[in-house]
Structures are given as structure tokens and as C-alpha cells.
Structure 1
């Protein structure tokens, strides 16, 4: 393929210089610039996510010698205007596969072609792009384990060499340029956290290296323990594209320990969920499998009161409340606890999973659309290869098993074991029985 004289890198969910094929392809041109779109949709994000996006963009711009332009507007207009300004005949970008990502890149391609320019895709946010792994008959996988084995057999490329960030051309100033410092400060004010998430690419890579050297051997035995710091904390970096799954998988492959294969499998779940959403775009809001009849879900003021107690960490169940308070204060929650709080909302309180998923979208800094929606569907028993609906987490036994010294719950609930902490808002055993009876009745109705 002929290397164009001038290229533009459209920065999407690949905000890094290490292992970035789109950036590397643009950098092959004699003249190359970079543009990031601050889309109108960002203004519907939580303040914490906006602040983190601004910081990540700021550090990338710094790493590129100040050459990254960040402009507000619709991508089709912003990218086309930037390509004109850079006199770029080709725009390079990582390909997206979510419904909104596909619609956006289609609009950008149409606008560029109308302007006599070309959009070329190289790479994606995944080790194996959604849609690539299929059964022998060509159908997509519905069950995770065979998907994972085919995904492993398909394989992926080695990480691309890192760029040094020098040599990028600066686009001239525009009245659509975004003040990243102002965006970060405004996000912090409107939606404060205890501390910002790590936003420096070099620090993300260094922290991951420390995890591989120290905690990865313990991952298999300790990954479900929220009281221990034994997870990689990569979810935010993966969501914003500061590290690529290939980089993570390459490091795990060099580690000869069973924990490394478990860790690798967790990345496979991320790619499985992206694949499910690619084949079933409606899964972003619609249950793939029905579980309860519509009239069995709680609604109205009762649902609002239940939801608010759950949201505010005031259910009287320490594992649930600790998780929701951790989320509110840090924008992150341990994965085991995410499953516990989701199960409680859907199966104890019988509030539809979509409402919980919407709250996570607002509260999580590491929000990833496919991961969030399909993980909620997994817990709710409505997704692909989901936990059976009749698997209802007992929040007390989960605490006893995964927080045996109560370090986690005591950290996030300072008033635990005092009159200031609420009594349980429901009888878990009784609600479990009611929910299961509703499930069996709905199942019988569907089989008629």
C-alpha cells in the first residue's frame, strides 16, 4: 500500500503511543498530524469521566510535544476540517464495533470521501476484532468457553513498537479547541472523587509491569478478594485505550503460572462481550433472554425508594453498601462486589438491570459500553452464557467468603456496628424465594 505524503491520526479509544498501529501508520507519512474529537455526547458523561478524559488527552498531547489537537464538534465535521488543514489525503483510525462507534465512523468516512479523502482502519480496541471468531458453520458463539478456545486459536499480533512522540505537525489554533485544564477542573468540581485515576501512559505501563512481577502469581487465589489489592486495575486504562489488550496478553504469555491463564481468560470475557454486542446491537438495552414477567418487576415509588437505598449504600447489607460507597467515592468497584451489588438490585429488589447499568454508566470511570451492559445481563441471567437467573448471590455469605476479616466493609462503612448503620431493608431468604417463584411461573408461561 502506498504511503501518503500527508496523513492524519484520528484519536479514538487508542489514547497511547505504545502498541498503536493507527498512530504508527500515520507517522509513516512525511507530514502527519493528530486530531481528537470532543463530541457532544461527552457532555452527557459524568463529571468524573469528563475529567479523566481531559487528563488522558492532556498527557497524550504532552507526550506528542503539544501536537495533539482536541476539538469539540461532530466527528464527521471535526475530522474532515482537520484533514483539510493538514492537507492529509488519508486519515488513519482504529476501527470500532459498537453500534455508536460504527455509526460515527460511517459518517466520518462519508464526509471524507465527499472531500476527496480516505479513511483507513488499522487495529481496534481488541486483540481479536468482534465478528472474527465464529463457529465452524459461521454463526457467532453464544457460549463463552468455546469462544475463548477459538479466540486463543485465532491468536493476535505481537504488540507494535512504541512511538517516541516526536515529529508530529501541529494544527493551527481553532475556536473549537478544547481547554483540557478547564474540563478537568470542572469535572472535579461537579463530580468529585477521593483521588483522580492514573492518567499517565508511562505510569499505567509501569504499574502493570509491577502487577505482573508481583501480584499475578496470586491472581488465581486472590482475584475475588476485595479486601486485598490483587487485581491489575487496568479497566480504566483499557476503557480509554491507554494500554492495548495485546500488550497485556503478551506479558501474561511470558508468565509461566496458572494465574496468567486465568488473567488471560478475563480479557477473553471482555472480547466475548464486545462480540455479543456486535452481533446483537439491541443488547445495549434489551434482554437477550427473558426471565421475569413484566408485572413482576418493581415499579413506581417503591422502585425509586429501593433504588436510592441501593445507590446510596444504605441497604443494611454491608457487602452491598461498601461496594456502592466505593463506587460513589472512587469511580471504581472490585469485580466480585460488582456482581454482588448487581444481583441484589435485580434479584432481591427486582429492579430491572437497565436501571443499574445506567447508574454504573454515570458513576464508573472505567465505563465500557459492551462490558457494562453485558456484565449486567450476565448477572441478571438475561445475557449470553449468563449466570442462571436462579443463581442469586447471598450478600452475607459473599462477605464471609471474600472479606473474612471485614477489612473491605469496615473501610467503606465507618459506622458499621453502630446505631447509625441501617438494619437490613429486606429478608434475603424470603425475597430469594419470592423471586424464584416468579421466575418459575414466568418460565412456565413462556413454555405454553
Structure 2
């Protein structure tokens, strides 16, 4: 028997690692409920528990969920099932790489083997390079090379009959209940793989046609809602691209470019792992940031959605209530934190890590660096979003802000906490000072 290590690929369809595990013999399935999950938000743990519950149901009860470090649990499961080989999808985040190195060492010390096939991306990080072998620093040429490189067709679905169950020691119902109590959401998100695939088909056949024109409108429901299942590996980017490539209109190509951004950010973090915490291109002098009590009070108002800028506040309240936020609004709230409140991007990124249900490490860190003007191919620092003009352009009838701010246009809603025009000039002055110091 062989063993499949379930990671960020919690699905039965288009899962090469699972297919390899059951290619020559029956396969067992193990998901380690490791110590790192204690650092996840309650909402993410609750959703993960439901995703695992769904995978267990779909696999006929074959998935074992066990508490403990991955290296320890996978070695024990391999010994228990007499598996000489453990198959897994390769990860590329710094934490994922460390974990798989530990598992590999533990298995090899016992005469067993960890083999990798596949990744969470259509094209694995490190594969798309320039002619001289160096990585791309700019998105547009990366995206052209990424398309030219191409990707494999989706793999077949796993054979449920060829799976063999192992015992679990984690109660998924209990973990979901604990997560809900600790960090409640207004409503649960879809966690069943079959429904997610149905939703993908419906999007491609319907709303995708409007995506190019309406993707920046938070007041309209024209996006794919695939960010959550992508984050948990319930659908592979390859599956999505196989569906969209059949569509000839420009909206499909625009949508595919968003998939490419996800892969570009993973590639950047792969080549520059310090980017998970450090600015890859510092934009401001160290003394430009607000500190102390003023910083904490400003951050608190931003986090609660009480800045007095409706689009910012609506976005932060949507995040608190649902674990998601429209992408256009994410850019506005991030710009406001960094360039109006003068707080470092790392503080906002850490809050998003805790609050987002669709949290993806490279996407989160590098998108924040994009807005802050500090990443690879980032928006220039002098691009400062005006939250009022953004609202007028992308929420013209105020439907989005009214949904999330019931006290809007009443005395209960606060006045703007800063003068955007003045703070913009402060940020630009800091930028010029930083450039001068850099040249010196």
C-alpha cells in the first residue's frame, strides 16, 4: 500500500499526487492537523474542518485526520500501513518547504521515501525564467512567458474504490464548532468539491462574459468566488484554465491574467523568500511611519471600519463579517492604511492573514507590497488611491457601502479621520526624502 499526504490539494479531481499514490496499489490518505494550525484564525480552522469532512465523505471515509507534526504522523502512518512511498504535492512557501524537508528526512531515516508530483499552480514557481535563466521581475513579460510555457491538461478523478481508510483522532465537527465560536462569520462558505466544480462551470457559462467590464464593481456580483476553494486546494488552477480556454471572448483572457498574477506572486516569493516579511524595494525612510499610541488608534479605527471613508469602512466590515473582500476594495483599504495613515504594510498584511478566509501567503504578502510600492513590479508609491473617487467610480449608486454601513448618512457615522489630500502630500514628501537618502 502507498500513502497520500493531503496538503493544499484537498480534492479528488485533478490531483496528480493522489493518482500516483493509487497507481499500483491501494492508497491511504492522511492529513496532519499540525501545530501550525493553532496560529490560524478560528474562521479558517472551521472552514478547513468542513473541507476535510467533505473530502472524507466523498472518499468513502478514507481520509484520516490526525493531530501532531507532519513528520511524526506520516512516518507512523507509513509504518502502520506498510507504505514504502508517500506521495505529496510539492509546496513552495517557506513554511511548506521546511515541513516537507522534515517529512523527507523522517521517512528516509526509516528506509522510506517521499515523492513529489504536482504543485498548487498551473506552472510551478521557478519554471518560468528568462533566456539567461534569471527570474522575471515584471508581471507582463512573466505572463507572456507563462502562457507560452503552458500547462498540462487536468488529471483524471481519483478512484474512490482504491482507497483504504486509516483511523482518525481529530473530531472535525468539534474543530468546526470551536472555530465558529472563537471567530464567527455571518454565513458559511461552500465547502463541497462537487458544488465548487458546478459553480465553476456556471461562472464560465454565465458571469465570465461580464468579468472584464464588471470585475472592479463591488456592488455587482460578477466575480468567480473561487478564491476560497483555491486557497484550500479544492480546485486546481489548471482545472480553471481548462474551462476558460474554451471561451473566445476577451473577458476570459482578462480572468486568466488574474490567475497569472497569483502564479507570479508565488514565483516572486519562491525566488525572494524574505519578501514574506521584508519590503523587496524599500520606498520610504524608516522614520516615515506613524508609531506609538497614535499608530495603534489609527489601526484600530481602520480594522473596525470606522475611518469615516465609506468604501474603506465597508470593505473592512465585509472582511470582518464574511472573511472576504472584493479585490478593488482590498487595494483601496490597503492604500489607505499605508499612505493615509502611514502604517507599514506588514501590519495590514498580518491582519488580513487573521481575517481572510481565502488567505494565500504569497498572494497576501505580495499584493500588500504591490499597493505599498515595495514589491516586484509593484504599483509606484506615488499611486495613492483616493477612497472617495474610487467609491464614486466603482460603487456609483452606493449599494455596496450601504449594505455594510447601516448608519451611513446618519449622525452615528464618523467624520473622516484624516484629510486625504493632506496625507497624500505627506506620503509624497516622505517618498522624495527616501529617494534622496537612497541616492546619497
**What secondary structure sits across from 2:161 in the alignment?**
coil
- Partners of 1:171 and 1:55 in 2: how far apart? 19
Question: What is the CA-CA distance between 1:171 and the residue it aligns to?
Answer: 1.6
Paired residues, what number? 440
- The answer to whether the aligner puts 1:151 opposite 2:130 as a matched pair is no
Aligned twin of 1:122: 117
- Partners of 1:238 and 1:159 in 2: how far apart? 15
- Identify the match of residue 404 of structure 2 among 385, 392, 412: 412
- The answer to whether the aligner puts 1:305 opposite 2:297 as a matched pair is yes
Q: Which runs of 5+ in 1 are unaligned?
A: 1-5
* CA 172–399 in structure 1, closer or farther in 2 if over 3 Å, else same: closer
- Partners of 1:310 and 1:12 in 2: how far apart? 34
Aligned twin of 1:431: 423
- The answer to whether the aligner puts 1:346 opposite 2:338 as a matched pair is yes
Question: What is the CA-CA distance between 1:32 and the residue it aligns to?
Answer: 1.2
Question: What is the CA-CA distance between 1:254 and the residue it aligns to?
Answer: 0.4
- The answer to whether the aligner puts 1:444 opposite 2:431 as a matched pair is no
Question: What is the CA-CA distance between 1:168 and the residue it aligns to?
Answer: 1.1
Question: What is the CA-CA distance between 1:242 and the residue it aligns to?
Answer: 0.2
Question: What is the CA-CA distance between 1:418 and the residue it aligns to?
Answer: 0.3
- The answer to whether the aligner puts 1:289 opposite 2:281 as a matched pair is yes
- The answer to whether the aligner puts 1:185 opposite 2:185 as a matched pair is no
Question: What is the CA-CA distance between 1:215 and the residue it aligns to?
Answer: 0.4
Aligned twin of 2:217: 225
Question: What is the CA-CA distance between 1:72 and the residue it aligns to?
Answer: 1.0
Residue-by-residue CA offset, 1:171-203 (whole Å, 9 max, x unaligned): 245xxx111000000100110000011100011
Residue-by-residue CA offset, 1:293-343 (whole Å, 9 max, x unaligned): 111100111000000000000000000000000000000000000000000
Aligned twin of 1:43: 38
Residue-by-residue CA offset, 1:62-89 (whole Å, 9 max, x unaligned): 1111110001111110111111111111
Task: Indicate conservation of the 8 Å contact 1:96/1:125, yes or no.
Answer: yes
Aligned twin of 1:392: 384
- Partners of 2:7 and 2:237 in 1: how far apart? 16
Moved more, 21-30 or 365-374: 21-30
Aligned twin of 1:248: 240
Question: What is the CA-CA distance between 1:165 and the residue it aligns to?
Answer: 2.2
Task: Indicate conservation of the 8 Å contact 1:32/1:86, yes or no.
Answer: no
Question: What is the CA-CA distance between 1:44 and the residue it aligns to?
Answer: 1.0
Q: Which runs of 5+ in 2 are unaligned?
A: none
- The answer to whether the aligner puts 1:34 opposite 2:29 as a matched pair is yes
Aligned twin of 2:321: 329
Aligned twin of 2:6: 11
For normalisation by structure 1, the TM-score amounts to: 0.97
RMSD: 0.7
Aligned twin of 1:110: 105
**What secondary structure sits across from 1:206 in the alignment?**
helix
